[in-house]
Structure formats: structure tokens, C-alpha cells
Amino acid sequence: MPTGEILGWVAGAIVTLSFIPQLTRVFKLKSAHEISLLFTTLLLAGILIWLAYGIYFRLWPVVIWNIIGAAEAIALLYAKVKYGK
């Protein structure tokens, strides 16, 4: 596996896994009032664009990590709508 691809897998893992503590906290406390709806919406939009980019260029680290990231962003958006009041 080329070094650039390894970097893509490692960087994607770090960024994607960094959401887990925030998601855990939001669902554990059932509170998302401190999370910005605009941030969450823009984050999801950006992730979906990166996903399209990865699919277009067949960059599998970008595709895989952005699929996972999109699921996390959707969960955060759900939590914001449910617990953000």
C-alpha cells in the first residue's frame, strides 16, 4: 500500500473517530443545546461533498471514512433536533 494511501486511512480514522466522544456525551446527557444547528448542517453537507469526491475519483479511504462520518453527522443532527431545546 502506497504511503499516501496509508496517510489517507490514518487521517480519516483520526478525524472520524474524533466525533465519538462528542456523540457519546450528547446522547449520555441528552443535551445538545451547545451544538450549533448551522455547524451540524454544514458539516454534513461538507462530508457528503467529500464522499461524492471520493466516489468520483475512487479514493477508498475518502469514501469509507466519509460514509462513517456522514452517519455520525446524521446522528449528531438527530440529537440536536431531539435534545437541542
Average pLDDT, the chain: 96
Query: Domain-by-domain residue ranges, the chain?
Result: 34-85
Q: Binning pLDDT at 50, 70 and 90, where does residue 85 land?
A: confident
3-26 as b/e: b if 16+ CB within 10 A: eeeeebeeebeeebeebeeeeeeb
**What's this model's pTM, rounded to 2 decimal places?**
0.92
User: pLDDT tens-digit profile of 30-65?
Assistant: 999 999 999 999 999 999 999 999 999 999 999 999
Distance CA 34, CA 55 (A): 33
Distance CA 68, CA 75 (A): 11
Q: Which of 29, 25, 19, 15 is nearest to 72 (CA)?
A: 19
Is there a contact between 61 and 12 (Cβ–Cβ < 8 Å)? Answer: yes
